[in-house]
């Protein structure tokens, strides 16, 4: 059952509640505004965990808008009655939990096997010393597809240090292109949590999200690389020696962990074609399934393509390929594969809970009538839904720092705007791109990524604002601009 279908009440949306009863639509809008302000206050000032903050605000908004306790939480007398909170959480996680879990394990195997190092080293050889920044950018772009942003920094930072030391130039010339590639894939492409969550909330095939992610993301990352090349020549940041030493220690610790887990990889490096093939397999399968539904009439052949191109199946195939080609074939034991896979899932719990709570927020907005009131108001404003989605996501991102919170909250707000018109999957995918673009705008001191970049690459807070914050804004604006233009033709 889809999220919106599960969350939709059988009777017309409520307009009760103290505020709504007195003011009608104005009251529902007040509830929405106060709910978002409360969410920002709890996350920014109280420092409440985003999952708890989203859940608390969802309950508060639902009660203030007139939903009953039974509608929010269900009833013990009827175990078959599904509450809004249950349907919002379950409807969202039922779509994305499997995708994020499989994608995370795939990224972990690529990371531990040395796939990232092989990819970066080979690209550096191909492009040479003069084009080393481009090689680092492509490394971030390719390796960032299956790997989370923070993991990508941890794994690839030592390679950046080495390239910057050889080149004798500012580390910004090498780290900023890498960060742009990692950030673009994290914001625009599955299996990362943001675009996957938005696809689930707005009911879009991941194939369309991948396609529009590439269409919007590639020009955005090219613009970011141009900015990185310009600013990297004007601000000199030396290679942080303490981080080089820490990276060596981390690498040694990782090698020890691998030995303890029974991971005994062969001396020969992983073939670059193997790494690219494993990363590209799920993307190609999902895209083939998406376009087979457009190009072919229903048939056995089309069913087979759609089966293998379902995200669950495609990612499972890629993971099994990684297990064999990067693990078993290179001397790993089954126990080591299990250890690496299990360890990789530990950081995922927080992400899934935050995304699930965002689904609850969207379900409450829908079931209480707040979302419809917002939809009517936004329609009266006259701005295209792509622009509204971007602006809402941007404001939420700048205010509270979390891209995931910005995406799931914005998706819940704009969902009614998309149900009213006969919008194509391609158009809704572009709305997701606008939301994702807004969610990375102006990373600053309230964003964990800001501090990670500053500390890993030895950049002062002032220079991080001048470089990384602007880089994220360039990615955001360029990605949104492409989404807005393309949306005029689909």
Judgement on whether residues 117 and 172 belong to the same structural domain of the protein? yes
pLDDT score recorded for residue 435: 97
Whole-angstrom distance between the N-terminal and C-terminal Cα of the chain? 28
Confidence band (pLDDT; 50, 70, 90) for 9?
A: very low
Q: What is the pLDDT of residue 453?
A: 92
Phi, psi of 295, rounded to the nearest 5 degrees: -85, -25
Do 77 and 108 have their domain in common?
A: no
If you average pLDDT over residues 197-219, what whole number do you get?
94
* 314, 386: one domain: no
Residues 6+ apart with CB under 8 A from 156: 116, 120, 136, 139, 140, 143, 178, 182
Is the pLDDT confidence value at 243 over 70?
A: no
What is the DSSP secondary-structure string of 74-128?
-BTTBTTPPPHHHHHHHHHHHHHHHHHHHHHHHHHHHHHTTHHHHHHHHHHHHHT
**Domain count across the chain:** 2
Q: Could you tell me the pTM of the whole model?
A: 0.84
- Does residue 125 sit in the same domain as residue 251? yes
Phi–psi pair at 260, nearest 5 degrees: -65, -35
184 and 304 assigned to the same domain: yes
Count CB neighbours of 264 within 10 A.
12
pLDDT per residue as tens digits for the range 162-191: 888 888 899 999 999 999 999 999 999 998
Residues 315 and 400 placed together within one structural domain of the fold: no
pLDDT of residue 349 exceeding 50, the answer is: yes
How many helices and strands, by DSSP H and E, does the chain display?
25, 0
Residue 452 CB coordination number (10 Å): 18
Same structural domain for residues 86 and 96? no
Greatest CA span in the chain, whole angstroms?
73
Crossing angle of helices 385-400/25-44, nearest 10°?
40
Query: Within this chain, do residues 63 and 148 fall inside the same structural domain, yes or no?
Result: no
pLDDT digits (tens, 9 = 90+) for 254-298: 566 556 655 555 556 788 899 999 999 999 999 999 888 778 888
Among the residue ranges 89-103, 174-188, 218-232, the one predicted with the least confidence is: 89-103
Q: What is the pLDDT of residue 261?
A: 56
Domain boundary among 320, 344, 368: 344
Domain that holds residue 190: 92-344
Residue 183 bridge partners (DSSP): none
User: Three-state DSSP class for 266?
Assistant: coil
What is the Cα–Cα distance from 93 to 97, expressed in whole angstroms? 5
- Distance, in Å, from the CA atom of 377 to the CA atom of 28, rounded to the nearest integer, reads 11
Helix (H) or strand (E) holding 221: helix 206-232
Determine the pLDDT at residue 263: 57
Closest CA to 359 of 197, 224, 485, 221: 197
Q: Which residues are registered as beta bridge partners of 78?
A: 75
Of 344, 365, 386, the last residue of a domain is 344
- For residue 358, the model assigns a pLDDT of 83
User: Is the per-residue pLDDT at 15 higher than 50?
Assistant: no
Which is more confidently placed, 47 or 464? 464
User: Using CA atoms, how far apart are residues 403 and 299, in angstroms rounded to an integer?
Assistant: 41
Q: Phi/psi of residue 78, each to 5°?
A: -125, 100
Last residue of a domain, one of 276, 309, 344: 344
Six-digit token pair at 327?
């693990």
Q: Are residues 301 and 166 in the same domain?
A: yes
Residue whose C-alpha is closest to residue 189's, from 481, 433, 482, 442: 433
- Name the residue among 284, 363, 359 with its Cα closest to residue 321: 284
269 shares its domain with 385: no
Report whether 398 contacts 443 (CB < 8 A): no
Residues 58 and 45 in one domain: yes
Nearest to 457 by CA among 217, 256, 165: 165
One domain for residues 406 and 477:
yes
Better pLDDT: 383 or 171:
171
Question: For residue 310, what are the CA distances in angstroms to 98, 288, 313, 314, 316?
Answer: 12, 10, 5, 6, 10
pLDDT tens for residues 99-143? 988 988 998 888 888 888 888 888 888 998 889 999 999 999 999
């Amino acid at each position: 059952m889809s999220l919106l279908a599960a969350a939709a009440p059988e009777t017309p949306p409520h307009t009760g509640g103290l505020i709504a009863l007195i003011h009608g639509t104005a009251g529902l809008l007040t509830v929405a505004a106060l709910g978002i302000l409360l969410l920002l206050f709890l996350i920014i000032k109280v420092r409440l965990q985003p999952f708890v903050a989203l859940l608390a605000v969802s309950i508060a908004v639902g009660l203030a808008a007139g939903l009953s306790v039974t509608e929010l939480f269900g009833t013990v007398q009827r175990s078959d009655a599904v509450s809004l909170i249950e349907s919002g959480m379950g409807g969202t996680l039922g779509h994305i939990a499997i995708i994020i879990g499989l994608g995370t394990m795939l990224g972990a195997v690529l990371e531990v096997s040395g796939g990232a190092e092989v990819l970066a080293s080979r690209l550096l050889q191909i492009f040479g010393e003069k084009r080393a920044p481009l090689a680092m950018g492509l490394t971030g772009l390719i390796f960032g597809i299956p790997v989370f942003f923070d993991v990508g920094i941890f794994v690839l930072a030592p390679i950046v240090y080495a390239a910057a030391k050889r080149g004798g130039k500012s580390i910004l010339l090498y780290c900023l292109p890498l960060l742009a590639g990692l950030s673009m894939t994290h914001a625009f492409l599955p299996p990362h949590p943001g675009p996957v969550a938005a696809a689930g909330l707005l009911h879009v095939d991941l194939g369309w999200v991948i396609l529009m992610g590439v269409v919007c993301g590639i020009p955005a990352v090219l613009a970011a690389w141009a900015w990185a090349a310009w600013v990297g020549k004007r601000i000199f940041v030396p290679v942080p020696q303490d981080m080089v030493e820490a990276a060596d220690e981390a690498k040694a610790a990782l090698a020890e962990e691998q030995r303890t887990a029974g991971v005994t990889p062969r001396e020969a490096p992983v073939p670059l074609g193997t790494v690219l093939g494993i990363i590209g397999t799920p993307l190609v399968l999902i895209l083939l399934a998406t376009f087979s539904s457009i190009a072919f009439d229903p048939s056995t052949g089309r069913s087979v393509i759609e089966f293998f191109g379902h995200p669950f199946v495609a990612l499972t195939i890629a993971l099994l390929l990684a297990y064999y080609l990067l693990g078993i074939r290179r001397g790993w034991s089954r126990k080591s594969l299990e250890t690496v896979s299990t360890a990789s899932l530990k950081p995922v719990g927080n992400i899934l809970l935050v995304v699930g709570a965002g689904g609850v927020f969207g379900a409450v907005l829908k079931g209480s009538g707040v979302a419809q009131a917002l939809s009517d108001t936004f329609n009266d404003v006259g701005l295209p839904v792509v622009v509204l989605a971007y602006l809402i996501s941007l404001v939420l991102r700048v205010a509270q720092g979390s891209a995931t919170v910005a995406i799931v909250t914005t998706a819940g707000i704009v969902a009614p705007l998309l149900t009213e018109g006969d919008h194509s999957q391609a158009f809704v995918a572009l709305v997701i791109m606008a939301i994702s673009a807004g969610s990375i705008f102006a990373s600053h001191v309230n964003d964990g990524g800001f501090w990670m970049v500053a500390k890993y690459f030895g950049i002062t807070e002032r220079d991080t604002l001048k470089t990384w914050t602007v880089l994220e804004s360039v990615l955001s604006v360029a990605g949104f601009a492409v989404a807005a233009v393309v949306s005029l033709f689909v």
